[in-house]
Structure 1
Amino acid sequence: MKEFDSAHWAQAWPYPRPDLPPVARPGEAEHTVSVWLLPKFSMLTLFCLLEPLRVANRFGRTLFAWQLLSSGGEAVVASNGVRIDVDGALGGAGDCKMLMAISSYEAEATVTAADRAVLRQVAAHGGRVGGLDTAPFILARAGLLEQQRVALHWESVPAFREEFAQLAISPARFEFAGRRLTGSGGAAGIDMMLQWIESDYGPALANAVGRQLVHQRVSEEDALQGQSQHRLDRLPRTVVRALAIMETHLGQALAIPEICRLVGQSQRQLTRLFVGHFGETPKQCYLGMRLDLARRILADSRCRVTEAALATGFSSMAHFSRVYQARFAERPSRTGERGTS
C-alpha cells in the first residue's frame, strides 16, 4: 500500500463527505474485518466496533469493510432481543486477515471445537484474532492468548483469573498489540478502532473520526484513575482502606477486628461509618463482596462449587450454600449449571 501522508490527508479532507458512501463489500476496501457474533452478544459492542470504521470511510477513501458471521450462518439474537442477519458462516473465514469475536452472556454455550479450529487457522495464517467483552474466554480456550496481556469486561475478570491463572490480565479497557486484540466491550471498541486507524493512517484521521463520533479519547491511565476517584472520593479514608483490605483478602477472609486494627479504627466506629454509607455492617459488606465474587466465578467459568467456595474464603460448604442462597435466591450449583451449559 502507498505510504500514507497524514498532513496531506488533513489538508485535503478537513471534513467528511456530505454524501454517505455505500457500505463496501469484502475485498473492495483496504481492510476487511470479519465479526463473529455469538448468541446474546452486546449490540453496543458491535456498533462501537463498526462505527469508527464507517466514519473513516467518509473521509475520501474506502479503507474498511466488514462482514458479520455466525457459527452456522444463521441470524443471531443479541442480548437486547434484536435479531441480526449475518453474511455467512464462521467456517468460511479461515483465510481472513482480521477476525473479531463478540460475546456477552454465556460466551461458551454454543462454541464448538470446529469454531475454535477456525480461530486457530486464522491465527496460523498470520491473521489478527480478537475478542471483546467475554470473548477472550473463547480465545483463551482455543490456546490463542499465551504470552499475551488480556483485557476483558471487569465482571469476568475473577472467573478468567481462576480458570487461566497463567495468563496476564490487563487493567486497560483494550489491548491492541501484534496479532491479538482483546477488550472489555462497549465503548472501549471505539478507542480500539481509533488506535488501529491512527497506527495505519496517522493521528489526523483518528482524531477527525473521534470528533465525528463526539468521542473524547483519554489515556488508559486517566480512565482508570478517573473511575477509581469517582467511586471513592466521597468516602472517609478509613472506609476506603477497609474496603481495599477486604478486596485484597477475598480468598482468605480476615476477621473484622483484624481489619479494624489494620485501618486504625474501633469496630464500633467503623460499623457506624459502613452503616451510614452502605446500609450494611462491615461483616455484611465483606460477606457480600465474597459472595459476589463466587457468583461471577460460577457463572463465567467451569469451576465446581467447591472450588468457587474455597476461592472466596469459605471452608464450610453448608455455610457457603446457605448464605449464597440467601443472597441470590438460588443454590450455587444452579448458578454453576448455567456457567457450564
Structure 2
Amino acid sequence: MSQISEKRYFSHRLRDTNSAFLPARQNGAEPVRVGFVLQPHFSMMAFTAAVDALVTANLVQATPLFTFTIFGLDATRVRSDLGIDISANSTLAELMLEGEGALDVLIVCGGFRCNLSEHPPLSLMLKAAAKKQKVLGGLWNGAVALAHAGVLDGLGCAMHPDNHAFVQEGFPQIQVSPQAMVVEARILTSAGPNSALEMMLALIERLHGTDTVRAIREILSSDRVADDDENRLIPAENDPTMPDALRTLLRLMNSNIEEPLGIEELADYVGLSRRRIERLFQSHLETTPSRYYLELRITHARRLLLQSSASISSIAVACGFVSSTHFSHCFKDFFGVSPSQARQLKRG
C-alpha cells in the first residue's frame, strides 16, 4: 500500500469519531427502508429513541444507511402519550411491502395507554410482512400487535412489564422475557425508551457492523452515567483497561495540541524508552505514537474547521501544523477534500 493511500485511514480509536467525514465507500447498497406504525398514545420517548438511532447512523457515514417512514393506523395525525400530535407520512393502507419503495423493516410503536385489542388491518399487514421475510419490531407493548398477528408464536419477546400478565394469559405460546430487549432472527422487541435505542443499535450492528454502532454511541451516549453500562464510551486517556503510562501519554498529547511534544519528550515525562512507548501504542491502539498524535491533531482541526469561523491558517497553528499548506495536505490525505472544500460542503 502506498504512503498516500495509507494516510486515508484512521487507526481504530479515532476512526469512529471521524467516520462521517471520510470519503464515501461506493458499495452500491440502497438505504434500508424502515417503517414505524404509530398506535394512538404511542410512547414518544421510545419512538424518538428508535428514530434517533437511524438518523445518527446516517450522520456517522458519508452516505445514508437508512430511510424511515411514519404510518398511522387510520389517519395521518397520531396523538402521542405526551398529548402531542405527530404527522405521519401515510396510513397503514398505503404501506408497501413489495415493489419500488417497499419497506425492509416494520416496527409497531406502542405505549402505556395504547389499546391492546387486535387491529385486524394491522394483523394482516404484519402477517404479510412476515411471509415476505421482513424484519418486524415492537416498541413498549408494540409486541402485542405482533402477538395478535401470530408472528411471535414459539418465540420470545420483550415488552413493558405492565403488559406481561396480559400476554402470558392470552398468548401462552409466546415466551415473555424479563429482559428489556429481545433480538430474534427477524423479530426485535423492546420494553421502553432506553431499550428501544439499544434494539435499533442491535439492528444497525447486524446490518453495518460494530464500527458504525461505536460511532453512533460516541454521539448519543456521551452523557451516560451508569457505571455498569458495558456500552459506555470512555476516552482513551481515561480508559481503565489501558496501562497507566499509556493513559498519561494520551493526556499529554491531548494537552499539547498547539505545540506537539516530540516522542523523546514524551518518553522523558513517563520515564520509558522510546521503544517501550511504541510497543504500548501498537499493542493497545494498533498504531504508532506519531501517527496517533497526528490523527488526534487532525481530528481537533476538523472540529474547529466545521464548528467555528476561524481562518484555516489560525486552525493550522492551533493544531500544531508548521504551515497552512502542510495542514491542507494532511487534511486532504485523511478526508479526501481540502479544508476549504470541507467547510463549503458543510455549509451546503
TM-score range, shorter chain: 0.5 to 0.7
Alignment of 1:18-97 (within 5 A): 30-59=31-60, 60-95=62-97, 96-97=103-104
* Larger Cα-atom Rg: 2
Alignment of 1:311-326 (within 5 A): none
Alignment of 1:138-157 (within 5 A): 138-157=145-164
Corresponding residue of 1:171: 178
Query: Would the aligned equivalents of 1:107 and 1:138 in 2 still touch at CA under 8 Å?
Result: no
Corresponding residue of 1:194: 201
* CA offsets 1:33-66 (integer angstroms, 9 cap, x no match): 1000000001000111011111111121200110
Alignment of 1:271-290 (within 5 A): none
Corresponding residue of 2:115: 108
Corresponding residue of 1:327: none
* CA offsets 1:48-107 (integer angstroms, 9 cap, x no match): 101111111112120011010001232001011001001001122240221000011343
Q: Structure 1 residue 17: deviation in Å?
A: 4.5
Corresponding residue of 2:17: 14
Corresponding residue of 1:315: none
Aligned match of 2:137 in 114, 118, 130? 130
Matches of 2:123 and 2:10, distance apart in 1: 43
Query: Would the aligned equivalents of 1:94 and 1:119 in 2 still touch at CA under 8 Å?
Result: no
Q: Structure 1 residue 16: deviation in Å?
A: 5.8
Query: Would the aligned equivalents of 1:108 and 1:138 in 2 still touch at CA under 8 Å?
Result: no
AA paired with 1:151? A
AA paired with 2:174? L
Greater alpha carbon shift after TM alignment, 160-169 vs 81-90: 160-169
Q: Structure 1 residue 181: deviation in Å?
A: 1.3
Matches of 1:221 and 1:214, distance apart in 2: 10
* CA offsets 1:141-190 (integer angstroms, 9 cap, x no match): 11110111111111211222122222111122111221111110211111
- Name the SS for the 2:107 alignment partner: strand
Matches of 1:174 and 1:102, distance apart in 2: 14
Flag as ranges the 4+ runs of structure 1 deviating above 6 A.
220-223
Q: Relative to 1, partners in 2 of residues 1:29 and 1:79: Cα closer, same or farther, differing over 3 Å?
A: farther
Query: Would the aligned equivalents of 2:159 and 2:180 in 1 still touch at CA under 8 Å?
Result: yes
Compute the RMSD of aligned alpha carbons: 2.9
Matches of 2:51 and 2:137, distance apart in 1: 14
Gaps of 5+ in 1: 1-6, 19-27, 224-341
Query: Would the aligned equivalents of 1:119 and 1:142 in 2 still touch at CA under 8 Å?
Result: yes
Matches of 1:9 and 1:112, distance apart in 2: 51
- Name the SS for the 1:187 alignment partner: helix
Matches of 1:37 and 1:136, distance apart in 2: 13
* CA offsets 1:207-248 (integer angstroms, 9 cap, x no match): 110120026599x9989xxxxxxxxxxxxxxxxxxxxxxxxx
Taking structure 1 as the reference length, the TM-score comes to: 0.55
Q: Relative to 1, partners in 2 of residues 1:217 and 1:162: Cα closer, same or farther, differing over 3 Å?
A: farther
* CA offsets 1:81-139 (integer angstroms, 9 cap, x no match): 00100100112224022100001134336753122111111111111111111111111
Matches of 2:218 and 2:169, distance apart in 1: 40
- Name the SS for the 1:45 alignment partner: helix
**Paired residues, what number?**
208
Matches of 1:197 and 1:53, distance apart in 2: 8
Q: Relative to 1, partners in 2 of residues 1:77 and 1:9: Cα closer, same or farther, differing over 3 Å?
A: farther
Q: Does residue 161 in structure 1 map to residue 160 in structure 2?
A: no
Alignment of 1:164-313 (within 5 A): 164-214=171-221
Matches of 1:118 and 1:15, distance apart in 2: 40
Query: Would the aligned equivalents of 2:47 and 2:139 in 1 still touch at CA under 8 Å?
Result: no
AA paired with 1:164? F
- Name the SS for the 2:18 alignment partner: coil
Greater alpha carbon shift after TM alignment, 131-140 vs 198-207: 198-207
Query: Would the aligned equivalents of 2:109 and 2:138 in 1 still touch at CA under 8 Å?
Result: yes
Q: Relative to 1, partners in 2 of residues 1:205 and 1:195: Cα closer, same or farther, differing over 3 Å?
A: same
AA paired with 2:41? K
- Name the SS for the 1:193 alignment partner: helix
- Name the SS for the 2:35 alignment partner: strand
Q: Relative to 1, partners in 2 of residues 1:77 and 1:29: Cα closer, same or farther, differing over 3 Å?
A: farther
Matches of 1:222 and 1:170, distance apart in 2: 21
Matches of 2:230 and 2:169, distance apart in 1: 28
